[in-house]
Chains A and B, each alone.
Chain A
Amino acid sequence: MNTPKSPIIPQAATTATAPDENRRMVVSSSPHVAALDSTRGIMLDVLIALLPALVVSVFFYGFRSLVLTLITVAACIAFEWLYRRILKKPNSTGDLSAAVTGVLLAFNLPASTPYWVPVVGAAFSIIIAKQLYGGIGKNFINPALAGRAFVMFCFPAYVSTWTPAFEWLPLGGNVDAVTSATPLASMKDGLLPSASAFEMFLGKTGGCLGETCALVLLLGGAYLVLRRVISVRIPLIYLGTVALVTFVFPLGGAARVDWMLANLLSGGLMLGAIFMATDYTTSPVTPRGQVLFAIGCGLLTVFIRYFGSYAEGVSFSILIMNVCVWLFDKVGKPARYGERRAKNGGK
């Protein structure tokens, strides 16, 4: 049996000899049983939840989305393996968190992105944003969003051309992307998008390859909630905040409900609210902290969409809120059991 690495935690398992039987009994601290949950199982559930969105993406933009996703996933796993190998740390690719980062990073890129771009993004995601801070559980910003922001700043030309739906892209060579205006681009000018709310719900618009179809993203979210991987708290409050603010303050004289729906269904909001803002490591654990975090994400998203120079605000709003997680966990600390007796413990 391996010895736990931390020198300060008392040894988790020691062996002692049963004198008569000469058998070595394992002696360790209670509890002696464990639930079946594992990090790998959780990540597998997230991958399963993301799968329908990938299928839809192939349907809209062709097999190039699939190849792009596979390359990103492979790059993420490879960088994680390599980094930990070079630094002689235990291999952690088996927990599948690098694979999830890969899928999410790919989902945040347009289908027309050259294949080498996500590889650079993956390197930033895995090495800079995740492993330099100690790997899973220690990074303070969402690795996939960090990688996306990195390629957006470094290679804006490659990651801001959007293919209209059903324009299947060639697999190889340079893609002369037919740029289509995304719903968000027209909304920036205070105009309702040309696509109807129903078309946007199904994802029949231009956009990043995994973000457009709200239907399958909601299905994936429902699966994660049913499997108890995530709670509805963060997605619901995030979406609710965006809905409320856009309903109360519509731009350009658009009808309130149409404007609100357009905001909810456009850009990366569904993907962000369901899959990115709920990332364990970079979201608060306390219920109250989660509420504040989600409200913050919602307000910042609308703020950037309305006043920022970028059309989309989801990824930056989540990244900004990510760095406040530690604070939210402190603020949201649950009340001490039995302390407010005057209020709760009456007879």
Chain B
Amino acid sequence: MIMPNTFRGGVHPESHKRDSKDRPLETLPPPPELVLPLSMHIGAPCEPTVMAGDRVLVGSLIANSSAPISAPIHSPVSGRVAAIEPRPHPNGGLVQSIVITNDGLDKPDPLIDTRGSVESLTPKDIIEIARNAGVVGLGGAAFPAAAKIQSGIGKTDTLIINCAECEPYITSGYRAMIENTDEILGGVRLLAKALEPKITVMALEANKLDVAERFRERIGDDKSIEVKVLKTKYPQGGEKQLVRAVTGRKVPPGQLPSAVGCTVFNPETAAAIYRAAMTGAPLLTRGVTVAGSAISNPKNLLVRIGTPLRYLISAVGGFKADPYKLILGGPMMGSALSSLDAPVIKSTNALLAFAEGEDRFDPNPTCIHCGKCLKVCPMNLMPLYINMYYTHHLDDELKTTNVSDCIECGSCAYVCPGRLHLTQVCRAAKAHLQDLARKEAQGK
């Protein structure tokens, strides 16, 4: 069977990757104060294992949880716990956070044991390593890696490494793939060892052929890993879209890729697991692209998790124009920030600053029933009808729209000539239906 190499729908936003793709990951010196929110992953928030005033070293465990889906947090610097208090979180609001004063010594925690070899590891070991190192999906979703490996064991015939990085502007993953190729492939082999797939596919978009070449070179004769070049189209990196493009399979509604025999990992996540296995080092740093029309000097930075965002802006030479909008993540799915007070968390892959509105805001959004939203929706939804039913309170009709399938990729709102806030409405409609379901459940 000929595989499709792409999915139905999607859009082609201006990539803007050229601004930063040739800027190697630059190590940002750790700031004097770091803020680590107790919740920076999907799943249960952590409980602090330290108290204000405690001394911590690089890699010391500072927060943990016994919940099955969670990821421990480690100190990215050596220093002292200044406070445990609510601080601004990048996703909005105040979240209980551990504040650490950096002593500038970068003294490593002696408890970290270096293994130096990964040959003898069993699947159980690999899960434990990923769990103890606090590794989460670094592509943006921040799902705990250990839980994902666990859920994929015995169900995976295709391990897909999501190298698509389809969001405009972001190149931190691209840099990692160029600069840390061996670590990524080492991690991919570890994941393959744990999941025992028939085939492992490094899936990337046609705009990263140099990475494909690099992967192929390093993979050599290994027939168990295949490099697959997909069409450059947003949201190629969406899990369901990627599974479809690579295998031709469709993940059923409300289910995970494992339902069709696939497990999807981000390459940087693989590298983090590899580093943890080799050196014992927990997840302490990550790559962040700083770019956008208000940034004087777009760069890729290797940042300690917990570094305040403001610090990143000064590292790239500040703003060249007054920022109008600050975005954490990509312009299609990232969230707008009200300030730079929040820190970099495990899922932060980019910080963008736009000098002016690039969403072409219209004070009078008007649907002209053109159907473009339906054409681009990768989940076969009809955003224009979701919009109509939601705004007219037609709850029974809204329930027939399958809006719960929406992956909030933003394609509909991106393409809408009438400038409707379609993605926002889909998000609100999903929440509204969940509310209704909850109320109905309570009523009975």
Contact = CB atoms under 8 A, between A and B. Distances in A.
A37 interface: yes
B373 to A, nearest CB: 8
B302 interface: no
A335 interface: yes
Contacts of A35: 11, 13, 414-415
Nearest to A36: B360
Given A1-B361, A2-B363, A338-B240, A32 B336 contact: yes
A337 B380 CA distance: 6
6 contacts: A32-B334, A37-B416, A39-B418, A42-B370, A329-B385, A337-B380
B371 A26 contact: no
B405 A10 contact: no
A88 interface: no
A70 to B, nearest CB: 25
A26 B338 CA distance: 7
A16 interface: yes
Contacts of A338: 240, 250-253, 255
Contacts of A3: 363
Interface in B318-365: 322-327, 331-341, 352, 354, 357-361, 363-365
A329 B384 CA distance: 11
Contact of B424 (A10, A90, A334): A10
Contacts of A341: 250, 252, 260
Given A30-B333, A33-B331, A333-B382, A25 B326 contact: yes
In the A-B complex, list the 9 residue pairs whose CB atoms are closest, starting with the nearest.
Answer: A285-B371, A31-B410, A16-B338, A2-B363, A29-B424, A338-B250, A334-B380, A37-B417, A338-B252
A87 interface: no
A137 to B, nearest CB: 4
Given A1-B361, A31-B359, A33-B168, A347 B157 contact: yes
A27 B368 contact: no
B161 interface: no
A41 interface: yes
Contacts of B336: 25-30, 32
Interface in B411-444: 411, 413-419, 421, 423-425, 427-428
B94 interface: no
Given A344-B250, A347-B249, 9 more contacts: A26-B324, A33-B332, A33-B359, A34-B416, A36-B360, A333-B382, A337-B250, A341-B250, A345-B250
A160 interface: no
B382 A30 contact: no
A334 B371 CA distance: 12
A281 interface: yes
A10, A17, A34, most chain B CB atoms within 10 A:
A34
B379 interface: yes
Given A137-B367, A337-B380, A33 B418 contact: no
Interface of B: 11, 13-14, 157, 168, 240, 249-253, 255, 260-261, 310, 322-327, 331-341, 352, 354, 357-361, 363-372, 374, 378-382, 384-385, 390-391, 393, 402, 405, 408, 410-411, 413-419, 421, 423-425, 427-428
A15 to B, nearest CB: 8
B317 to A, nearest CB: 16
Contacts of B249: 344-347
Nearest to B360: A34
A31 B331 contact: yes
A19 interface: yes
B327 A90 contact: no
A13 interface: yes
A341 B338 CA distance: 43
Given A25-B339, A334-B382, A32 B253 contact: no
A25 B342 CA distance: 14
B391 to A, nearest CB: 6
Nearest to A335: B380
B362 to A, nearest CB: 9
Contacts of A4: 363, 365, 421
Interface string A103-141: 000000000000000000000000000000001110000
Given A25-B323, A27-B338, A31-B413, A8 B368 contact: no
A6 interface: yes
Interface string A277-293: 00011001110000000
Interface string A92-109: 100101000000000000
Interface in A11-53: 12-13, 16-20, 23, 25-39, 41-42
Contacts of A284: 371
